[in-house]
Chain A
Amino acid sequence: MKKLIFRNTDQQCLDEVLKGIMAAQPGKFRRIGSEFGYTLTKSQLRSDKVQIIVNGGGGRGPFFEGLVGEGMADAMVSGDFNCAPNAYMIYQAAREIDRGKGVFLLTNNFMGDYLNNDMAQELLQAEGIASKVCYVSDDIYSARGEPKECRGGLSGIGLIMKTASAAAEKGASLEEVYRIAEKANRRIRSLTFLYNNETNRIEFGNGFSGEKAVEEIECCDVDTIARKVADILLGELDKYRSDMIHVMINRMLYMSYAEGYIILNALKKALEEQKCRVGICTTGNYLDVFDYNGCIVSLIAADEELEKHMKYVNGFDFAI
């Protein structure tokens, strides 16, 4: 994984990322301090709604440091690089921003994230603060042979976050926000593919901790790749594929802006060839844990209820 060249010390990096974000958008955020994790909250919190906290490993693109804002989360907690934030930080953030309607926690389904959110819930419960957690499991290539809920998460969490956030902003209760997020999680699928310049092949299914590719093909034109991606993801979506399909393409660290849109165009065509109804399409650099030229493609199949919560959400320098 890419080492940061432009930095002071390793220890200062993530603290300075947050300071930079705050400098770029003055007045928008508040820090909750700790030497053992990184928390950012909105400076103005609505007091009449469920608060949403998104959390996960740090230092890898807008996910998670850049996810606090309008239409997104009310707070984010990140750990060190690629490392789940600790339970105490999550608990502290939740206690700080709860306004009596409860706190909805959203994280990817990894062991560290699961353990810390579960423990945070226990600490919150002891103080009478209501909380629910949704563990996002969009990575179709993880936990092969096991049920969907055992899979890990990739960048699909961004789509689930905006769904949950839209529901909370419209006044949904904690239970409702949780139910909607879980539904969105059942209807989302993501895969990774990347270019390996040593073999000149396209690899599918690499995990971001170096898990090996599940399948590889000769490098070919993008329409062919897009058809393959559409086939795999629609196969995974199965009975949901006739609902409205929204597309998010996360460019990995070395994929260019141009390639992101070329793939987006090809994928939209491929989905339409398969008679899909295609809704919002976005591409951006959201999560840069992968040191490659490649991307993570996420499809979410929205039914009528989810469709109400689907809209473009603009972060500081990206749209989901």
Chain B
Amino acid sequence: MEKIYVKDMQKLLLGAAEKIIENESYLTKIDMAIGDGDHGIGMKRGFTALKKMLEDQEFQEIDTLCRAAGIELLKSMGGASGVIYGTMLLGGIRHMPHGPYADVQQMISWFAEGEASIERRGKTKPGQKTMLDALMPAVTAMQQAGKSSDDIVQILQSGYRGAFQGMEDSKKMQSRAGRSKNFREETIGLPDPGAVSTSFIFEAFAEKIKECEEEA
């Protein structure tokens, strides 16, 4: 697959929403240990709203879909998560065409600028034990894979491997941002809850794109 069509993107986002909803209690458990315990519930709320929106509406253009999804997360989630995951989808929206599909490079640029926007707004860099520690390696892996491949399935699978590895690596880090920084060295050994969520999202993307390919 060299292009991702709006209906497939909608399935990807829906898959991500379902994955987050399913894993709410796990996310809550990790956040209770090193954060304030609101991450799982907040994410579930936002991604439930997103799921409902995706089930109720149809979209003709891929940028309209991604923008609507980002706004839905922004509106429905409090805490840091609404802004962060909203920005992940909205930050690079200019790379998404106002048309029925995006190509590989457009999709990678969309993710990359979303990541950069989170860094800018959060005044945070990868390495501080945040969701960026999964998102950044996901983006890097997709950019790397995108140099030799036009296959969206491969690209998103690389993205997931990057996100998962990044989440694993976040276990070794000491938190430097957000509330959890006050837990200091106690944060070492546990993954960052935001990085876990990000890994789940990319896991769903990788699974769903495979399904889309098989259906096609």
Residues of A within 8 A of B (CB): 1, 34, 36-37, 79-89, 110-112, 115-116, 118-119, 142-143, 152, 207, 209-212
Q: Which of B38, B82, B121 sits near A82, CB closer than 8 Å?
A: B38
Give the Cβ gap from B96 to chain A, nearest Cβ, in Å.
20
Tell me, yes or no, whether B181 is within 8 Å of chain A by CB: yes
> Interface centre among B35, B179, B181, B186, by most A CB within 10 Å?
B179
The residues of B that contact A152 with a CB separation of less than 8 Å are 179, 182
The residues of B that contact A87 with a CB separation of less than 8 Å are 74, 82-83, 86
Across the interface, name the chain B residue whose C-beta is closest to A92.
B75
Question: Assuming the A-B contacts A80-B38, A111-B80, A211-B183, are A86 and B121 also in contact, with contact meaning beta carbons closer than 8 angstroms in the complex?
Answer: no
Question: Assuming the A-B contacts A36-B49, A118-B121, are A209 and B179 also in contact, with contact meaning beta carbons closer than 8 angstroms in the complex?
Answer: yes
Main secondary structure of the interface of A (DSSP, over half): loop
Q: Are B75 and A209 in contact (CB under 8 A)?
A: no
Q: Which of A36, A89, A112, A115 sits near B45, CB closer than 8 Å?
A: A36
The residues of A that contact B36 with a CB separation of less than 8 Å are 82-83, 209-210
The residues of A that contact B75 with a CB separation of less than 8 Å are 34, 36, 86, 88
> Interface centre among B45, B49, B186, by most A CB within 10 Å?
B45
The residues of B that contact A34 with a CB separation of less than 8 Å are 75
The residues of B that contact A211 with a CB separation of less than 8 Å are 182-183
State A87–B41 Cα separation when bound (angstroms): 18
The residues of A that contact B76 with a CB separation of less than 8 Å are 36, 86
State A83–B38 Cα separation when bound (angstroms): 7
Q: Are B182 and A112 in contact (CB under 8 A)?
A: no
The residues of B that contact A119 with a CB separation of less than 8 Å are 74, 83, 86-87, 121
Tell me, yes or no, whether B84 is within 8 Å of chain A by CB: yes
Interface string of B60-88 (1 = CB under 8 A from A): 00000000000000111111111110110
Tell me, yes or no, whether B42 is within 8 Å of chain A by CB: yes
Across the interface, name the chain B residue whose C-beta is closest to A58.
B78
11 contacts between A and B (CB under 8 A): A37-B78, A80-B78, A83-B79, A84-B80, A85-B78, A87-B82, A111-B80, A115-B121, A115-B122, A116-B82, A210-B36
Beyond the given A84-B79, A111-B179, A112-B78, please list 8 additional residue pairs across the A-B interface where CB-CB is below 8 A: A83-B36, A86-B77, A88-B75, A110-B179, A112-B81, A116-B80, A209-B182, A212-B186
Tell me, yes or no, whether B188 is within 8 Å of chain A by CB: no
The residues of B that contact A210 with a CB separation of less than 8 Å are 36
The residues of A that contact B45 with a CB separation of less than 8 Å are 36, 80
Tell me, yes or no, whether B100 is within 8 Å of chain A by CB: no
The residues of B that contact A80 with a CB separation of less than 8 Å are 38, 41-42, 45, 78
Q: Which of A89, A116, A142 sits near B182, CB closer than 8 Å?
A: A142
Q: Are A111 and B182 in contact (CB under 8 A)?
A: no
Tell me, yes or no, whether B189 is within 8 Å of chain A by CB: no
The residues of B that contact A83 with a CB separation of less than 8 Å are 36, 38, 41-42, 78-79
Question: Assuming the A-B contacts A80-B41, A119-B83, are A209 and B35 also in contact, with contact meaning beta carbons closer than 8 angstroms in the complex?
Answer: yes
Interface string of B81-99 (1 = CB under 8 A from A): 1111011000000000000
Across the interface, name the chain A residue whose C-beta is closest to B41.
A80
Across the interface, name the chain A residue whose C-beta is closest to B81.
A112
Query: In chain B between 6 and 47, which residues have their CB closer than 8 angstroms to a CB of chain A?
Result: 35-38, 41-42, 45
Give the Cβ gap from A27 to chain B, nearest Cβ, in Å.
29
The 3 closest A-B pairs by CB, nearest first: A79-B78, A209-B36, A115-B83
> Interface centre among A87, A115, A152, by most B CB within 10 Å?
A115
Tell me, yes or no, whether B145 is within 8 Å of chain A by CB: no
State A209–B183 Cα separation when bound (angstroms): 9
> Interface centre among A1, A83, A212, by most B CB within 10 Å?
A83
Q: Are B80 and A112 in contact (CB under 8 A)?
A: yes
Give the Cβ gap from A211 to chain B, nearest Cβ, in Å.
4
Q: Are A116 and B42 in contact (CB under 8 A)?
A: no
> Interface centre among B42, B182, B186, by most A CB within 10 Å?
B182
Q: Are A143 and B83 in contact (CB under 8 A)?
A: no
Tell me, yes or no, whether B177 is within 8 Å of chain A by CB: yes
Q: Are A84 and B78 in contact (CB under 8 A)?
A: yes
The residues of A that contact B81 with a CB separation of less than 8 Å are 112
